Structure 1
Amino acid sequence: MKEVPTAEDDSNLLVIILDTNPFVWAESAKAQTPLSLDDALRQVLIFINAHLALKYNNKVVVIASHVGYSKFLYPISDDDVAKHRISGHRNANMYPNFQFVMDQIVASLQELLSETDVSFLQTDTGTSSMITGAFSMALCYINRITKNDELGHIKPRILILSLSPDSAAHYIPLMNCIFSAQKAAIPVDVCKVYGEETAFLQQAANITGGIYVRVENAQSLLQHLMFAFLPERYARKFLNLPNQDQVDFRAACFCHKKIVDIGYVCSVCLSIFCSWSPVCSTCKTKFAFRPMVPPSGRGRSSPAVSSRGSPSLANNNSNNPSPSHP
């Protein structure tokens, strides 16, 4: 990731992608250390207020990664404000900007959950979160804001609060988003609140220079947010923040959308396949030679075929980045 000069007086744009998958939150609420969506939202709102309080020109955006689609929770249009009937009454004991942000986020999330038909989602669209859709929306919003910033004082970053497991079907669009964030020098932080480790989001944090933290105790979510993700990009130069000792760089095959440890990589378009095929299904290249397969009885792979137009046998379970997508 390219270095971007930062200054103490920069405006920090924090885009939060909140996983609102109701199925995973139901499991989290029944875990050994339970954490419901309501409790998590209270802690996230405190974190947002702390980010806004750090500097007068700090900005925040919240996007919901829901089942089947993504939606902006904040900011919302004036029509949505009138639709939600957000009260103009201000609490004298709360900073007005804090209450304004909190009211919009809570109202938008309530509407999102009230419109969710659980029975329809279980039968038609599946139960995976649209992390790629929310990621794309975040990048588009950041691009629009930074284009209007002629002086370059706005320093954006993305924070993903994840609960859902990896979806191999979303591997290609997610890698597109990761490489776009890397090219735009946008760090992607990941807070794994619940569930097993996610290989794809580990790669996102590693490639873009962000921070990946897995929350062991769900009740300490606010503590992790404050200590690991609150510091801005300028302050991170002087802090010893959590880092990743090991990164899972496994990829998903393009043919069956399965996460594979060892795969065949097309030497022309770099598509990944779980089994050898004489023709690449992505770029239609016909391979001239058969690959060198691992000897029987051994677990390690043989050297990759180097001839152009032939698939190479690649081991993705290493600490080297996985091959880029076409």
Structure 2
Amino acid sequence: MKDVSLSEGRDSWHIIVVAIQLDIIDDSNLLVMIIDTNPFAWEDSSNAPVPLSLESALSQVLVFINAHLALKYNNKVVVIASHIGKSKILYPLADNEEPTISNNGNKRNANMYPHFQIVTDQIVSNLQKLLSGTDTSFLKKDMGASPTITGALSMALCYINRVTKLDDEGHIKPRILVLSVSPDSAYQYIPLMNCIFSAQKASIPLDVCKIFGEETAFLQQASNITGGVYVKMENRQALLEYLMMAFLPDRYSRNYLNLPTQDQVDFRAACFCHKKIVDIGFVCSVCLSSSFYIGFLQLVSCLLNLQNQVCVQTKGASSF
């Protein structure tokens, strides 16, 4: 009788494992990729000792996107450009989720899978339109111009929310990948943190690949809070290798892989008044919605700026 019970137990566990595997097979991995297209940062990247142009990076990104689509028949991808002053969806088109091959005069590559060519052509075409419509002469006058990463993240979260609402069985597994070349913008701190906590609440991992420039404290926090992967490229000529090894595995496969982790995370915040990243600050314990982070030497000026706001009481300021 013991042998029979053990056999039945093994069979039941086998059925459970098979059911889980079949459920995972039906999952659709939705990759929302946000590409930082800051023209000034890419110009600096092209002139760096180890140069990497936007054109060269895009060609490697397209290979990575095709690899993601090739992993499973129902994998999906969304590409968003985080540009100066605006964000734009490069793929798919807003009015046609599954476009057909158009006869626009371009020669079809007989060696390329048709769907890959559709994705590649759309991304390249829409990015060219975005870059050609950018008035760089006007932007150079505003040296504080920065890409709207918060706008791109908001678009990504809205798209994911719309798609997952239609998925009653929960087979869509979304994740966001940010390719960053720009430094942190303290002016975007509050809306960026709102996006980060929204992604955390929705269980959406936010991966970050820092291609060029200094470490970004805010994106480090985003990756750490949402359980994503943060990688700062040491060898800028190996972008494709970084993408394939660190960011290609889906959410389920990551449970069995040793992916890069962050040894140290920069948890600094930005002053709500002066829009500067500070190490030590104070937060109002009376009005949480109007909380402010300030350095000790800037305490007086911050209080003067906020003295006309009734909701903020200076007596309630306490260090954190």
TM-score by length of 2: 0.85
Deviation at 1:76, TM superposition (A): 1.2
Partner of 1:287: 314
Partner residue in 2 for 1:68: 85
- Specify the alignment match of 2:47 in structure 1: 30
1:217 CA displacement: 1.2
Which residue of 66, 73, 82 corresponds with 1:49? 66
CA shift, 1:269, in A, is 3.3
Residue 127 (1) aligns with residue 145 (2): yes
- Cα distance between partner residues in 2 of 1:117 and 1:286: 44
Question: Partners in 2 of 1:79 and 1:155 — Cα distance?
Answer: 22
Larger helix percent: 2
SS at match of 2:140: helix
Shift of the alpha carbon at 1:89? Answer: 5.4
Q: Does 2:279 match 1:252?
A: no
CA RMSD of aligned residues (A): 2.3
CA distance in 1, matches of 2:76, 2:145: 31
Measured after TM superposition, the shift of residue 283 of structure 1 is 6.6
Partner of 2:8: none
Does the residue aligned with 1:273 lie in a helix, a strand or coil?
Answer: coil
State the SS of the aligned residue for 1:123: coil
Q: What is aligned with 2:120?
A: 102
Q: Is the 8 A contact 2:284 2:313 kept in 1?
A: no
Distance across 2 between alignment mates of 1:79 and 1:51 = 21
User: Which 5+ residue runs of structure 1 have no aligned equivalent?
Assistant: 289-309, 315-326
Which has the higher mean CA deviation after the structures are superposed, 33-42 or 118-127?
A: 118-127
Contact 1:63 1:71 in 2 (8 A): yes
When residues 138 and 281 of structure 1 are mapped into structure 2, their CA distance, relative to the original with a 3 A threshold, is: farther
Q: Who is 2:292 aligned against?
A: 272
Change in CA separation of 1:244 and 1:105 when aligned onto 2, cut-off 3 Å = same
Aligned to 1:58: 75
Q: Alpha-carbon deviation of 1:120? A: 1.2
One-letter code of the match for 1:272?
Answer: F
**Equivalent in the alignment of 1:299:** none
Q: Do the aligned residues in 2 keep the contact of 1:205 with 1:212 (CA within 8 Å)?
A: yes
Report which stretch shifted further, 5-14 or 218-227: 5-14
Matched, 1:243 2:261: yes
The superposition leaves residues 79-102 of structure 1 with CA deviations (integer Å, 9 ceiling, x where unpaired) of 8989x9855753221101100000
- Correspondent of 1:178 among 196, 199, 208: 196
| Preserved contact between residue 85 and residue 148 of structure 2 (Cα < 8 Å) | yes
1:114 partnered with 2:109:
no
Letter matched to residue 71 of structure 1 = K
Secondary structure at the aligned position of 2:24 is classed as coil
Q: Separation in 1 of the partners of 2:32 and 2:272?
A: 30
- Tell me the distance in 2 between the aligned counterparts of 1:91 and 1:151: 37
Find the partner of 1:225 among 229, 243, 247. 243
2:234 corresponds to 1:216: yes
Could you tell which deviates more after superposition, 239-248 or 120-129?
120-129
1:281, distance to aligned residue in structure 2 (A): 7.0
- The reply to whether residue 14 of structure 1 matches residue 31 of structure 2 is yes
Amino acid at match of 1:21: N
Where has structure 1 moved over 3 Å in runs of 4 or more? 77-82, 84-90, 278-283
